[in-house]
Structure 1
Amino acid sequence: MQGKIILVNGASSSGKTTLCRALQAALPELFWYLSLDHYRELGIIPWDRVRSGEFDRQTLRPQLFEGFYRTLPALAEAGNNLLIEHILAPNDYPERLFEVLAPFEVFFVGVHCPLDELERRERVRGDRPLGDARKDFAVTHTYFPYDIEIDSTQPAPENAARIITAWQARPVQENPER
């Protein structure tokens, strides 16, 4: 049996991580929580060496995304439910992500946040280049209709409850390709 997939998309600093943690804690089934940020945080990718210029980020980018995207169907085909946190942006090969996920039923969640709040969060975080949130804000929500959209200025547990309610009420597709 294929795993179920919930894909959470939003701009940098929109609250995706907080929301995904709330979702993983509240979902009635076990979901693996996956994000490219986890690769950085766990040291899977040596970001310090990339940032220093020892390795060229732009050269590595295509294979990084291709590798991440290919892991998702493998995990879902093994029966694992996936909660995927991602930023869909033109330079992150979104079409390829849609291609590898086409055989699966994917529940799409849009995480919205006003631009001024995104930029405030980005400044407070201090771990991202200033301006990333603004760039993402312009393009992140232009790819497809969502199954549910949330406002991340609302409490994460409330948003998680709304998402779970909508996810449980979704029509299950026989042929999930969009």
Structure 2
Amino acid sequence: MTERTKIIFIHGASSSGKSTLARAVQAEIDPLFWHVSIDHIRDSGMLPMERFRRGDFRWKDQRAAFFEGFHRSLVAYASSGNNLLLEHILEEPEWVSDLALRFQPFDVFFVGLHCGLDELVRREAARGDRKPGSAADDFHRIHKGQRYDLQLDAGQPVSNNATHLISAWTSRRGPSVFERLALEASETAAR
């Protein structure tokens, strides 16, 4: 039997430390994992960010197609046999069940990265590359009602969180949260 492609999905607020954690995990974990995020697309020049800033295009008009393409690309990467270390913010409530269904063929480990509000605001200001208030908005919304295979505190040292994540991922048993979410979404769709 062929082993299922693996996705470690790190979900957390803007500026919570998802990228830092993903890089630390990627440096230590076996087998090989691709590190994938929206920031990689934005920072690569793939999107005409300057034109959005100038007002040539409105992000609001492009957002739905962008995220649909991003979510489809994740499936394409994983379907080709690439293990993914995905960092993403589930900004829309329907994305959870949508991705659970899309990711059904894969072995998904869902990690919630939590960071205190004061620290998020401090990090966002220090970065200077985020819309002010994004981190606070995420803090109040994105973890509500979410179930995770593992929850981590961004206030802990990154190396500790990376070690804990790898250990929990390696020793996990039973169906993952995403497997249960996919089953629930399938049952809801069948009604």
What SS class does the counterpart of residue 107 from structure 1 fall into?
A: strand
Q: How does 1:37-116 map to 2 (within 5 A)?
A: 37-90=39-92, 93-116=95-118
1:35 alignment partner in structure 2: 37
State the 1:92 CA deviation. Answer: 8.3
Quote the residue 1:18 is aligned against: 20
The count of corresponding residues between Structure 1 and Structure 2 is 177
Mark the runs of 5 or more structure 2 residues left unpaired by the alignment.
181-191
Structure having the larger proportion of residues in helix: 2
CA distance in 1, matches of 2:14, 2:145: 16
What is the letter of the counterpart of residue 17 of structure 1? Answer: S
Q: What residue is the counterpart of 2:140 in the other structure? A: 138
- Matched with 1:151 is 153
2: distance between equivalents of 1:143 and 1:70?
25
* CA positional deviation for 1:50: 1.4
Q: Distance in 2 between matches of 1:42 and 1:139?
A: 28
Please give the alpha-carbon distance, in whole angstroms, between the structure 1 residues aligned to 2:161 and 2:70.
Answer: 27
- 2:185 aligns to what? none
State the alpha-carbon separation in 2 of the partners of residues 148 and 173 from structure 1: 13
Counterpart residue identity of residue 79, structure 1: G
Q: Structure 1 regions of 5+ residues with no counterpart? A: none
> What TM-score, normalized by structure 2, do the two folds share?
0.86
What's the CA shift for 1:105?
Answer: 2.1
- Residue identity over aligned pairs, in percent, reads 49
Alignment root-mean-square deviation, CA: 1.8
| TM-score, structure 1 normalization | 0.92
Question: Following TM superposition, by how much is the alpha carbon of 1:119 offset from its aligned partner in structure 2, in angstroms?
Answer: 0.4
SS of structure 1 residue aligned to 2:62: helix
> What amino acid is the match of 1:131?
G
Distance in 2 of aligned mates of 1:45 and 1:96: 24
Q: 1:8 touches 1:85 (CA, 8 Å); kept in 2?
A: yes
